[in-house]
Structure 1
């Protein structure tokens, strides 16, 4: 007869030893540091991936499932694209800058991708496109390559970076809401952590 062990199995929380909460955006200098490293190593795939992740501001689940036809119209990469978000089922539009268009063009041609293909195919046979876990590992590699603590960052860093820069420059919260595809303005405020950051900024500018 089997006896039950007197020592119950110990389960460790999934986030033990990890930093949780909002992932900070990259600073402009950090964006250029990563971009320069990818250019220097001639990593065509990841340069296109990094540039588009910054421009698109998409969640990982939407970004990894992009197809060539989402960004490629006619015989060239489009200046703008529209994607239906999985989480909200709301369309979101984003601009594709000249630098990103150039890197995407180089990637698509070098890999011989067709319009119906996934933009970033997986290198594993089990998946037709890059998985969110694979994408997360790549993002952490980008972060650590410039000497930052990658445990403090994540895929939402890529989503948050450009809108944070835009907000800092314009203070136009409504524009940021549209760029992120949020249904409520309150969601945008919480997502950017604007109230806390603005309070700190005002405190720094106040002389006592």
Structure 2
């Protein structure tokens, strides 16, 4: 998996899938048959495993059989299941402001500001380094984002000032190494983890009395939706989010309520005469 440069999170998920299958099988997984794998999928379905988790498990087992064992025929009867597409949860601008203000400390407030101000994924936020900030071009360099691709994120003047405040405080307190992680963990050598960041946003949502189901990805959804409501071209939003397909970005049109309110119903155009 390292040779194929799979992300650490992906490697962990694949290993978890194989271990789960081995526990079900009761013998080494490399001795499995086509029917063993098919029956394992049926067991997961019967146990009520979510479509997302089920598909992730299938992907991990396919990698194990096709790449590790070089036996692609083993997974011939394993088919991914349809994942119902649900509309993303989006916060209002006022809710975003309350959420950031309620974050436990300056580091978390700055990290949440960055997530909302750039639309980056949690995994991309925590792996940013100080050197990724380009105040001349007003961009953030995102190295090895989802799909292993580099890209640039927008850097607004407000966000830059918040980052500078955080940098000065962190340096004064000895919490940030020269050229190190932008958001260090308890040990400055290590970055803040996505789990710690998600815990911080859950605490902030509770403190801000936000009843919606909030996660780090909610800030990404809100970023995209608010840009769409500001009349930013959807293809620009696609680039900022790092989406491969425009149709993935297009789902935000369904939750951009400001845009929907501006659409004139054909009923309004009917003559009353």
After superposition, give the CA deviation of every residue in 1:19-73 in whole Å (9 maximum; x if it has no partner): x9554122111122234445xx8x32122112111122111111111111112x5
Indicate the residue corresponding to 2:60 in structure 1: none
Is 1:133 the equivalent of 2:195? yes
Q: Is the 8 A contact 1:121 1:129 kept in 2?
A: yes
Q: How does 1:147-186 map to 2 (within 5 A)?
A: 147-149=209-211, 152-170=213-231, 172-186=233-247
Aligned residue among 73, 78, 97 for 1:32: 97
1:12 shift after superposition: 8.3
Indicate the residue corresponding to 1:7 in structure 2: none
TM-score (norm 2): 0.57
Question: Which has the larger share of helix?
Answer: 2
Indicate the residue corresponding to 1:87 in structure 2: 146
1:99 shift after superposition: 2.1
SS at 1:93's partner residue? strand
Runs of 4+ displaced beyond 3 Å: 11-15, 20-23, 35-38, 195-198, 202-208
Distance in 1 between residues matched to 2:196 and 2:160, nearest whole Å: 23
Task: Quickly say closer, same or farther: Cα 1:156–1:114, change in 2 above 3 A.
Answer: same
Q: Is the 8 A contact 1:35 1:47 kept in 2?
A: yes
Q: Which has the higher contact order (CA 8 A, sep 6+)?
A: 1
Q: Is the 8 A contact 1:121 1:128 kept in 2?
A: yes
Structure 2 unmatched runs, 5+ = 1-46, 53-84, 269-273
TM-score (norm 1): 0.72
Indicate the residue corresponding to 1:103 in structure 2: 162
1:92 shift after superposition: 2.7
Aligned residue among 44, 49, 54 for 2:111: 49
RMSD over aligned Cα atoms: 3.3
Task: Quickly say closer, same or farther: Cα 1:77–1:46, change in 2 above 3 A.
Answer: farther
Count residues in correspondence: 183
